[in-house]
Structure 1
């Protein structure tokens, strides 16, 4: 065999394994706003991630972040594909990207509330009693831990910057509850779902911390995809969430961890009220 022919044969022999080598399995990158402790977020997500992996035929990887803005930037930069957002974070993501798409929400998220809490004997029984008190919000970008509580405080004539003796951001809903229970602040506001979980799991003693005000309902959490994600994959993800059935014991475990009775479709228009409240509270400017 001539040298050119031998060289060609070697190239062909080497090329065949390369061509037949298995391609890496595509990865769906998922994140969530850090509204609870990191270990709790991972515990809640693992069964859901395994379920989504089977439904869409992809490896699902959870990408933890340190704060709410990082989730928005992850979607904007194409570093994550699917994100669990609060209503306000969705508004921020939509404004930042122009095309973030909310696909599903828990049925409960169409009628969500914030809870205002204090200790018995604090002298606080209505929002107006908070003047001169210390107060805790959750994260600055939290819908139920900051935006909507701030909005309803302003509606009641309470300006946090002027009327509290001091206020601070705890970072998470469970931390807010602990701050109030431990006397670090006189009162605080948090997500009603987390509040119920903390009471049910006996992580907060309802004899030491009480709810004194519940906001009117509003739209809150959703699962959002980046706008340039493959439409076929988006439909598979939506179908997977909508197929979760509380009558199926394994799927009920997933729903219970997500504190959901079921998932329903959602759309950007559902969050117009959140954006309006954010403008009224001075948290969004055009």
Structure 2
């Protein structure tokens, strides 16, 4: 009986080891849902294939319902790597205490947001006084937090300045709302705006940019703090190795709206944390 018990325990240990090994061979990746789910997946697929090749392991993309779900998934170690906005990174770092930002696009060091309108009488932010306005997600750095922060610095409190504010949930949705007249004005990140214009998904004869925010740090790829350091270094090296002179790499970079990836540090997002505290979004 004692031998049987040992054999059974060994069998369980072997099964657990096997399961753990299989889990360790899968890199679970997610992203804040700042665009439509189909668009997020389209952008990720070539990058995921590249990471599988570079890391010699399976890469699985796991979509989430909202920004908060990404934070919770990293905190619970259900996600290994995630594409985060600056504010979402700050929230993740504060919740986990050890989330590590690996890389950002070169463009993210001087990111901006665009304030847009389809109202022919609107030519500046001041012209939107008393009108309706759309932000993206409440947790969006470029679709809510930083534009709101810069408005407050200019003496504009959105709830008092606009007749009504609403949250579209995503940058492309904000552009669609403004174009359809559901909001007199709105704000979205510059990268998505440029992409929508290039794809002909926004009518620039109707919708125009009326203001651009000052620059700020934004998106990054972050890993959970408990991820194996050797794997963490391989992931960072894979991103940094993407070369725009390589046609295959350029296709991946173009989908990410990146000229290249550069290393980043948690300290780069201190300004976003300060902005969030000033807006009473962090306690």
Q: Normalization by structure 1: what TM-score?
A: 0.91
1:45-64 equivalence runs, <5 A: 45-64=44-63
Tell me if 1:108 matches 2:107.
yes
Query: Given that residues 119 and 184 in structure 2 are in contact (C-alpha distance below 8 angstroms), is that contact kept between their aligned partners in structure 1?
Result: no
Residue in structure 2 matched with residue 82 of structure 1 by the alignment: 81
How many Å separate the matches in 2 of 1:112 and 1:83? 19
Partner of 2:282: 284
Partner of 1:246: 244
Instruction: State the distance in 2 between where 1:124 and 1:156 align.
Output: 18
* CA RMSD after TM alignment: 1.8
Could you tell me which residue of structure 2 aligns to residue 226 of structure 1? Answer: 224
Q: Deviations over 1:66-85 (max 9, x none)?
A: 10000000100110000000
Cross-structure match for 1:4: none
1:37 paired to 2:32: no
Secondary structure in 1 matching 2:200: coil
How far did 1:125 drift? 2.4
Q: Distance in 2 between matches of 1:244 and 1:43?
A: 18
CA drift at 1:126: 2.4
- The CA deviation string for residues 206-248 of structure 1, in whole angstroms up to 9 with x for no partner, is 1110000000100000000001100000000000000001111
- Residue 118 of structure 1 is matched in structure 2 by 117
Partner residue in 1 for 2:176 = 178
Aligned to 1:3: none
Q: Could you say which residue in structure 1 is the equivalent of 2:26?
A: 27
Deviation at 1:120, TM superposition (A): 4.5
Q: Is the 8 A contact 1:113 1:192 kept in 2?
A: yes
On the 8 A contact 1:85/1:224 being kept in 2, the answer is yes
Counterpart CA distance in 2 for 1:189 and 1:84 is 21
Q: Is the 8 A contact 1:117 1:209 kept in 2?
A: yes
Q: Is 1:255 the counterpart of 2:281 in the alignment?
A: no
In 2, Cα distance between equivalents of 1:163 and 1:226: 40
1:195 to 193, 196, 199: 193
Residue 275 of structure 1 pairs with residue 257 of structure 2 = no
- Separation in structure 2 between the aligned mates of residue 256 and residue 58 of structure 1, nearest angstrom: 24
CA distance in structure 2 between the partners assigned to 1:196 and 1:219 by the alignment: 18
- How many Å separate the matches in 1 of 2:243 and 2:237? 12
Partners of 1:156 and 1:116 lie apart in 2 by 15
